[in-house]
Structure 1
Amino acid sequence: MMAPRFSRRRFLAVAAAACTATQVRAKAPVATWRGPALGALAEVRIAGLDGAEAAPILAQVEAELARIDRLFSLYRGDSALVRLNRNGVLPGPEPDFLHLLSLARTVHFATEGAFDPTVQPLFALHAEHAAAGRSVDPELLSDARSRVSFERVRFDGTSVHFERPGMAMTLNGIAQGYATDRLTDLLQRAGLRDVLVNAGEIRAVGSEQGARGWPVRLPGGQRCRLENRALATSDLFGTIVDPARAVGHIFAPSQGTRTLRHGPVTAYHESAAVADAASTAAVVLDDRQLSLLGPLGVRLQPSG
């Protein structure tokens, strides 16, 4: 089961400096790589290195983006996630696939199930009916919901498998944050001290041009300076699955009616992956339940 394609307006941007920001001069060389990555256009800029010096680092970035895409993309038929959704089992999963599932499970239990990657059948059902201009039949919706339960996903070093036929997962609510973390760590290992990675979610290390932290623009035009932290923003209507019926791309996994949060909510954490999952969960959680994110070390900034 592959996900329908929706327009993604995200732009993956990476900025880094090869020396302390105060040493980066206006005429310092800037090496740049541009290309497709994770369903978006990507740009990586490294100040303080010429093209030859930066080439090995940029090659590592490009290879890592391709590797992440092969693991978690819903838009390519050979990705590990699409094969799992199609077959109900993924033999011999890569360690990073298991790592991300373990992290997702941690957030799932911490949020009492509000973050649940197995909502993909709901997404696919609404998308299919929207494409045909039809409302979703309540019986079909109930059937799709019966296949939503992350607790029915079993995984270990030998395989990942679904306990019920027709289940499927999306990792879009955590994989972009994971990609942000991986790229940040890669650039730091390469010796870059000041790094800003925006792979849909944002993580900052060091600072830009000697100032404290990096300037980041939040939804609604607010600005902040992000220093050695990550942030992620989720919005129910950031992507519209069914415009005619005002169905957004985030779904409550539990049965029954639940009012999802309208407007963007931003989560801060040391890990962009955790911030990504937490901001997704916050759309599902009501105000009283937002305290569930506290033990994860998450700080929230709801809209308004």
Structure 2
Amino acid sequence: MVDRMSRRRFIGISAALAGLSLLPPRAVRAEDGAQVWHGFALGAPAMIVLNHPDKAEARRLFGRIEAETERLEAIFSLFRSDSELALLNRTGALAAPSAEMVNLLARCRDIHRESGGLFDPTVQPLWTCLFRHFSASDPDPAGPAAEEMRQALDLVGFDALRANADRIAFTRRGMALTLNGVAQGYITDRITALLAENGLTQSLVDMGEYRALGTRPDGTPWRVGLSTLESDATPDRFVDLAGKALATSSAEGFSFDASGRFNHLLDPRTGLSASLYAYLTVVAPDAAGADAWATAFSLMPPDEIARVVKAQDNITVYLRQRDGKRLVLSA
């Protein structure tokens, strides 16, 4: 039986014009005077708090944020049957793709290359193989048969995806793509940009990944607590975030089995699941990059992460190993 767990329980956006105070979403009270929107986005409850002197303008921004999130989800969602991604996976090709899809796949290709192939969005057949196995009645706890895994692995390989402004297509029948390791970050970046374009100078956007615009209104950095699961009562540590993005990957975010041996962080080379870290957090200039690198680094030992971080020169990694040891890796 598939054991579903999720790190992301809540989406929160806090933003303010210069000089106006602002509390994190879940600390806002009715008497604080900020404009508040409640709804649902990216499969989770959502709350937006805007400290804006013009109530009508704040409501207009709520609408724009909601519409933009919906528009991007209609491109990247793995679970909406009408999304661009679902159409690509269903038919093997996508004509006249959106600019957002083309741009994000180009970014994926860069990180695929820089990570030595460990960041590979074509691992979806492996995920499907594991899901099918552990959704069956009384599944073998050892996992799918070796031949089933081999067949799934044969369908993995980002180099077998062709993409340009006119068409996206797989070169092998049966391939499929997941953007769950990067799309939340990309959407986070787009919403942050939308806030900036509308005059908001300080914000913290949490859409599964974090992106800070500027600092807190008092000039201090935003602080984000790190832990294995978002529901953990006490963070393992805190990280200051000013003008950067943060993403965390944890093998416990989604497990196919009760033991956690088979989880969502899949090695495209072997089909095995990540097991090195309790959690791994990346701070980077943008949320899409932080999101993708958090996935790739979860499959690398610390010395290999340190080598990549040194080459990137703009990434910091916070990790906790299974034995409890905590490391910070930066250039």
8 Å Cα contact 1:193-1:205 kept in structure 2: yes
What CA distance in whole angstroms lies between the structure 2 residues aligned with 1:96 and 1:281?
22
* 1:83-94 correspondence to structure 2 within 5 Å: 83-94=87-98
* AA at the equivalent of 2:67: A
* 1:108-187 correspondence to structure 2 within 5 Å: 108-132=112-136, 133-134=138-139, 135-187=143-195
- Counterpart in 1 of 2:311? 295
What CA distance in whole angstroms lies between the structure 2 residues aligned with 1:10 and 1:264?
17
8 Å Cα contact 2:5-2:255 kept in structure 1: no
Q: CA deviation at 1:51?
A: 3.4
Residues 126 and 256 from structure 1, CA distance in 2 versus in 1: closer, same or farther, beyond 3 angstroms? closer
Q: CA deviation at 1:29?
A: 2.6
Which residue, 259, 262, 265 being the options, matches 2:277? 262
Residues 257 and 102 from structure 1, CA distance in 2 versus in 1: closer, same or farther, beyond 3 angstroms? same
8 Å Cα contact 1:21-1:208 kept in structure 2: no
Q: CA deviation at 1:221?
A: 3.1
Q: Counterpart of 2:56 in 1: which secondary structure?
A: helix
Which residue, 224, 236, 240 being the options, matches 1:216? 224
Which residue, 55, 58, 75 being the options, matches 1:54? 58
* AA at the equivalent of 2:205: V
Residues 293 and 118 from structure 1, CA distance in 2 versus in 1: closer, same or farther, beyond 3 angstroms? farther
Residues 257 and 226 from structure 1, CA distance in 2 versus in 1: closer, same or farther, beyond 3 angstroms? closer
Matched, 1:77 2:81: yes
* 1:27-42 correspondence to structure 2 within 5 Å: 29-42=33-46
Which residue, 106, 111, 118 being the options, matches 1:107? 111
Q: CA deviation at 1:193?
A: 0.6
TM-score (norm 2): 0.85
Residues 87 and 293 from structure 1, CA distance in 2 versus in 1: closer, same or farther, beyond 3 angstroms? farther
Q: CA deviation at 1:287?
A: 2.3
* 1:4-43 correspondence to structure 2 within 5 Å: 6=4, 8=6, 9-21=8-20, 29-43=33-47
* AA at the equivalent of 2:318: Q
Q: CA deviation at 1:299?
A: 1.5
Residues 23 and 114 from structure 1, CA distance in 2 versus in 1: closer, same or farther, beyond 3 angstroms? closer
Residues 5 and 152 from structure 1, CA distance in 2 versus in 1: closer, same or farther, beyond 3 angstroms? farther
Q: Counterpart of 2:199 in 1: which secondary structure?
A: coil
* % identical equivalent positions: 34
Q: Counterpart of 2:63 in 1: which secondary structure?
A: helix
What CA distance in whole angstroms lies between the structure 2 residues aligned with 1:301 and 1:265?
6
Q: CA deviation at 1:7?
A: 5.2
Residues 82 and 266 from structure 1, CA distance in 2 versus in 1: closer, same or farther, beyond 3 angstroms? same
Number of residue pairs matched by the alignment: 300
1:77-122 per-position Cα deviation (integer Å, ceiling 9, x unaligned): 0011111111110111000001110111111000000100000111
- Counterpart in 1 of 2:232? none
- Counterpart in 1 of 2:323? none
* AA at the equivalent of 1:74: L
Q: Counterpart of 2:90 in 1: which secondary structure?
A: helix
TM-score (norm 1): 0.92
What CA distance in whole angstroms lies between the structure 2 residues aligned with 1:13 and 1:23?
13
Q: CA deviation at 1:129?
A: 0.8
Residues 272 and 284 from structure 1, CA distance in 2 versus in 1: closer, same or farther, beyond 3 angstroms? same
* AA at the equivalent of 1:48: H
Residues 59 and 196 from structure 1, CA distance in 2 versus in 1: closer, same or farther, beyond 3 angstroms? same
Residues 6 and 36 from structure 1, CA distance in 2 versus in 1: closer, same or farther, beyond 3 angstroms? farther
Q: Counterpart of 2:278 in 1: which secondary structure?
A: coil
Q: CA deviation at 1:246?
A: 2.5
8 Å Cα contact 2:15-2:203 kept in structure 1: yes
- Counterpart in 2 of 1:45? 49
Residues 144 and 56 from structure 1, CA distance in 2 versus in 1: closer, same or farther, beyond 3 angstroms? same
8 Å Cα contact 1:205-1:213 kept in structure 2: no
Which residue, 199, 206, 214 being the options, matches 1:191? 199
8 Å Cα contact 2:262-2:273 kept in structure 1: no
Give ranges in structure 1 of 5+ residues lacking alignment: none
* AA at the equivalent of 2:82: D
Q: Counterpart of 2:267 in 1: which secondary structure?
A: coil
Instruction: Pick which of 143-152 and 27-36 moved more.
Output: 27-36
What CA distance in whole angstroms lies between the structure 1 residues aligned with 2:50 and 2:271?
50
RMSD, aligned CA: 2.2
8 Å Cα contact 2:126-2:271 kept in structure 1: no
Q: CA deviation at 1:192?
A: 0.3
